[in-house]
Structure 1
Amino acid sequence: MTLVPTPGSGDPSARSTDALPRRWRQLLALSGFAFAVLLLLGWFLSGGNTPDYMATDEDWTTWAGEVGPRSGIGASLILLGGVAFLFFAATIRGTLGSAEPTVRGSGTLGYAAFGGALVGIAGIGMALVNVASATSAGADADPVAIRAVATASAGPYLVAAMGFAAFLGAVGLSTLLSGSFSRWTGVVALVGAVAFLLTFFTAVVGLGEDSAFGYGFLPGILALVIWSMATSIAEYRAVATSTREPASGEVEG
């Protein structure tokens, strides 16, 4: 009879995530919660809804003057959140990969989630930095430059939507298949993935104008925040209630 190793068994590869001290693993688990908070703060402090591309120069300079003082703070927060998210994404990839022995395909979905996380956080970071750059001079900036740089942020935003759609879609499917996390979080993740996918159609309608498809970004971000907070807490509790680590020099049986 062939025994399949399970997480926490004597198989070293199954315990790869246990290589770090428990306190470090708890901090890594909480990095998802930190990311969610920083993402929300950075998102709401950033430039917000930009004027339409054909808006007057006065509209653009007025907008830059209003959001300039806080958009730089928002960009800094999203970059800090990105660092936390990268550590959290690696933790999630390890959790999903640990289900591979019992649920085929979990490892592949874990890699897809990690790849999507990299693309998503890079895209939204670039978008908010672009907005901060466009508004850094406030109302004194050249309206043509403001319009050009702010409008160009649409590209990174859609790249972020692409990455987060892949990330949430992969973790949502893996959760429903393997039960790595609560099933309701899998549903939230899939809803967020669909919301991000809908934003792709803004490229068809026109990126310089407000589009109903563009509003899919907000529910997508909210789903990402809810999922990150919930799974971060679940990961922290899982580490906190895991079996006692052997002391230094102690050999596991």
Structure 2
Amino acid sequence: MLPTLFISHGSPDIAIAGTAATAFLRDLAASLPKPRAIVVASAHFEANGGVFVTGDARPETIHDFGGFARELYEMRYPAPGDPKLAATIVEGLEDAGFRAKVLTGRGFDHGAWVPLILAFPEAAIPVVEVSVDPGKDAAYHHRLGVALSQLPEEDVLVIGSGSLTHNLREAFTHLKVGNRTAAVPDWVEAFAVWMGERLAQGDVEALLDYRDRAPFARENHPTDEHLMPLFVALGAGGGAARMLHQSRDFGVLAMEAFAFERAA
């Protein structure tokens, strides 16, 4: 059975940069069984009041960012979609009590295609995206993941793509000058360590209450959307997390990646 993954996708330019996270993602597929399809819950696919699932057969590549090198805007990720899988996911979500709908006319945002273009550059595996809801909490997204938990048993790789820490105001102070190796503040490290320890322990109760329990939660996540894919991955995979990667970018972006696997 496939694991479920959480990936910190970081700045869009990791697709063309030489960071530690870039190198990790390039080696990722070799460590996994080949999936028949990939489902990505992306922090950049936000929708209120329900869950949308992309249903196009040939999704476009969305360049939903600004101020980066032209090379990045010229990149395309031409993986096919999977309308049949999208419809099946919607049906399962509705059975689990969610308002869900297939959405057409929406391509792959950079939360999906940036990590995938590194990990699966051949773009041959069908990809479907699932939205997160910025108005809902960690418990909601954990339940959303649980509703997707049958997919790994069906050779579908579920990925939550967000960021373990995501204070853009702080990141931009270093990004503007290209300082990828800026010093890591104590408030970033304290939060990342707390989250990593609770994930390794499988302490779902503490994790769902991270806003009140984790040190410097609000400093690292002024808004929640970039951590919600973690809870989708946690719900879909179950069990304790295994850390796959740990690095820092621009000082304040914790680039951790985790795998979740249910006991056989």
Scaled by the length of structure 1, the TM-score of the pair is 0.29
Higher strand share: 2
Q: Which has the larger radius of gyration?
A: 1
User: Which structure has greater helix proportion?
Assistant: 1
Q: TM-score, normalised by structure 2?
A: 0.28
Larger RCO, structures 1/2 (Cα 8 Å, 6+ apart): 2
